Amino acid sequence: MQDYSTEFAGKRVLVTGGSRGIGAAAAQRLIDGGAKVVVTARSRHEETPAKAIFISGDLRTKEGAEAVAKEAISILDGLDILIHSAGAARVQLTSIDQIAETEWLDSLDINFLAGLRITHAVLPALKAAGKAAIVYVSAGGLIPFGTPLAHYGAAKAALNNYAQNLAKELAPAGIRVNVVTPGPIITPGGDEVRNTITGAMGITDAQFFAGVPLQGRGGKAEELAEPIAFLVSDRASYITGHNHFVTGGWGELV
């Protein structure tokens, strides 16, 4: 079996939304591969990897994103990899036309513009690295979750489009950009959203996950961390500008 314990030795990594869930799992996977990792979120959690360097930050403003980028790059003395996993979803149990404009704007700010801000803030460091990689975690941008999360999906669709354009622009500089689309992953944030939806529908978790072709189960954060690790590794040196589904067959097959 291939030993990946030193695959990321010497790599400098920033993971947004890295205090728990998919971001924390991705951070831990790269730490296990030898990387030096900074994670950022508004607060630390029990899931936050012990060996990660934590920065408290808020990417909902340009100033906040730039402050995180500056501190992370200073700590790491540069940057090779950005994994953007930050995001948030507030379920709206109403019709699309009744979702308040403030909710659309807030979702756009958190789920699209935050990614744009942190990317633009770290781009000089990534370009200086000579060879770098970016991965965005973007659920709902291609597989609509339905009205309760229409505002969230629309913002993620914008992130997907941005990522594809960015991939083309940065390819000559040796910077690869990819998106990972997760299916129903069991995480603290995902659980909260799912519980709200299943409660409104009057169904159980088992009934909800029954629609997943692969074993009728929810995914684990670690099952997202591995493809993310692959995409930012040299093993994926010829892959850029793509959206990679990690869904257990859910969504795109129906």
Check residue 196 and give its pLDDT: 78
Mean pLDDT per block of 10 residues along the chain (254 residues) reads 84 97 97 98 94 97 97 98 93 92 95 98 97 94 82 94 98 98 87 80 85 90 97 98 92 50
Active-site residue among 4, 136, 152, 238?
A: 152
- Evaluate whether residue 206 is within a structural domain: yes
152 is known as an active-site residue = yes
- Evaluate whether residue 2 is within a structural domain: no
Check residue 141 and give its pLDDT: 84
- Evaluate whether residue 5 is within a structural domain: no
- Evaluate whether residue 7 is within a structural domain: no
Check residue 4 and give its pLDDT: 77
CATH number at residue 230: 3.40.50.720
Counting the structural domains of the chain, the total is 1
Q: For tokens 């400098």, what's the residue?
A: 12
Amino acid at 84: H
Check residue 253 and give its pLDDT: 40
Check residue 108 and give its pLDDT: 96
- Evaluate whether residue 252 is within a structural domain: no
Residues of the domain holding 46: 12-246
Check residue 97 and give its pLDDT: 94
- Evaluate whether residue 153 is within a structural domain: yes
- Evaluate whether residue 1 is within a structural domain: no
